[in-house]
């Protein structure tokens, strides 16, 4: 098989063809819980500095539904301040992303292109958001939802008998944290160049915090343990190379509020260009679990929950685990088998892999 992953790519984008948008209830809830924060940043933006159009950059747009929602909230808040100011909405993601879906969401019945007032120009900027993707000083509001927790490149340091960073022993976890810190600094440095003076940036995604008893609360930890167990069973059956599985880590890192703030405060490398507005972590309730509690149907819950997990994880699992590690089976068939087994395990014990998420919400302003 030809090498499809020459640069250690983490993902080729969320599952396309409408699948991700159809199964991103949790991601929608994260964005909805951040509506007030978006409106607040727009309310404090200096419109007198706008050159030509108020520019919103949407980093990690995915396939568009949650992206269009966040941009729509920002544009409605802008219209409340100035009904006629032109606006540009730039959607960014990796070059293999399904941008057709992004613009279909923007133009849909509930999309932001139906707003009245001044013109809105929908645009795309393809490329990794760990690098600069739009010109210097052009962004008035940056938004990034459910995306910045991904690693820039597939980590090559993995915890034993797990695929989640928080299960790693101290030395391995420190190495993963160092890689994630470098990625976060690169992400923020690129935004610092792109933001106009006085521009705002809001980043939200899964994070971690401490419980009242001092214990660490890490988003998705229970889910990733079940994902590991399913993969381990496939290795036991000879369908997945055990050594390659042991070397694999799911390429996401959950930052704390303190880690998110660090580059912009004190002696942080970006403290001269970015001002920290806020950095908080709060739990966002699981919509799938709410339906299970209401309906009491574990089979229906398992089907919906599996589709949610597959929507964001299929691309990265295929690139960095199934394609290199499949044994005696085509990677695509192995992927199907993996999620069939995950669904069966979830139906048998819904509690084991229950998704819990503590959402990091960090806001910055360009000095």
- The mean pLDDT value of the chain amounts to 95
Position 9 pLDDT exceeds 80: no
Q: How would residue 5 be classed by pLDDT, with cut points 50, 70 and 90?
A: very low
Q: How would residue 8 be classed by pLDDT, with cut points 50, 70 and 90?
A: low
Is the pTM value of this prediction over 0.75? yes
Position 2 pLDDT exceeds 80: no
Report the relative pairing of strands 195-210 and 87-93 from DSSP bridges: unpaired
Sign of CA dihedral 161, 163, 166, 168: positive
Q: Can you tell me which residue has the tokens 């940056």?
A: 142
The separation between CA 240 and the C-alpha centre of its own chain, rounded to angstroms, equals 27
Tokens of 213: 């008893």
- Domains of the chain listed by start with CATH number: 19-366 (3.40.50.150)
Residues in the chain: 367
Q: How would residue 3 be classed by pLDDT, with cut points 50, 70 and 90?
A: very low
Instruction: Evaluate whether 70 touches 143 at the Cβ level (below 8 Å).
Output: yes
Q: 140-180: per-residue pLDDT in tens?
A: 999 999 999 999 999 999 999 999 999 999 999 999 999 99
Q: Determine the average pLDDT of the residues in 305-314.
A: 96
Which residue would you say has higher pLDDT here, 319 or 7? 319
Q: 284-294: per-residue pLDDT in tens?
A: 999 999 999 99
* % residues pLDDT > 70 (the chain): 98
Q: Determine the average pLDDT of the residues in 228-237.
A: 98
């Amino acid at each position: 098989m030809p090498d499809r992953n020459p640069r250690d790519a983490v993902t080729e984008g969320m599952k396309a063809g409408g699948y991700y948008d159809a199964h991103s209830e949790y991601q929608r809830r994260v964005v909805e819980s951040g509506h007030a924060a978006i409106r607040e940043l727009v309310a404090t933006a200096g419109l007198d500095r706008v050159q030509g159009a108020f520019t919103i950059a949407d980093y990690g747009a995915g396939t568009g539904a949650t992206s269009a929602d966040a941009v729509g909230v920002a544009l409605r808040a802008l219209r409340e301040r100035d009904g006629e100011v032109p606006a540009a909405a730039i959607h960014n993601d990796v070059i293999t992303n399904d941008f057709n879906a992004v613009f279909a969401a923007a133009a849909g019945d509930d999309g932001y292109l139906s707003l009245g007032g001044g013109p809105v120009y929908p645009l795309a900027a393809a490329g990794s958001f760990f690098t600069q993707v739009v010109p210097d000083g052009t962004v008035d509001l940056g938004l990034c939802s459910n995306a910045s927790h991904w690693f820039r490149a597939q980590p090559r340091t993995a915890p034993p008998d797990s695929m989640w960073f928080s299960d790693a022993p101290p030395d391995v976890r420190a190495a993963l944290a160092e890689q994630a810190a470098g990625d976060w600094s690169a992400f923020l440095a690129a935004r610092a160049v792109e933001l106009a003076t006085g521009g705002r940036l809001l980043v939200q995604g899964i994070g971690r915090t401490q419980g009242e008893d001092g214990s660490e609360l890490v988003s998705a930890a229970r889910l990733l343990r079940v994902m590991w167990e399913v993969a381990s069973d496939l290795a036991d059956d000879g369908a997945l190379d055990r050594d390659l599985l042991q070397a694999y880590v799911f390429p996401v890192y959950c930052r704390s509020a303190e880690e998110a703030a660090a580059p912009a405060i004190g002696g942080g490398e970006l403290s001269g260009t970015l001002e920290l507005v806020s950095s908080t972590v709060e739990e966002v309730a699981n919509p799938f679990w709410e339906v299970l509690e209401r309906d009491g149907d574990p089979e229906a819950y398992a089907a919906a929950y599996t589709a949610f997990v597959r929507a964001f994880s299929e691309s990265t699992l295929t690139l960095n685990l199934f394609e290199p590690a499949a044994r005696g089976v085509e990677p695509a068939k192995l992927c199907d088998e993996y999620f069939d087994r995950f669904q069966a395990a979830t139906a048998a014990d819904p509690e084991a892999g229950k998704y819990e998420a503590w959402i990091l919400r960090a806001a910055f302003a360009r000095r």
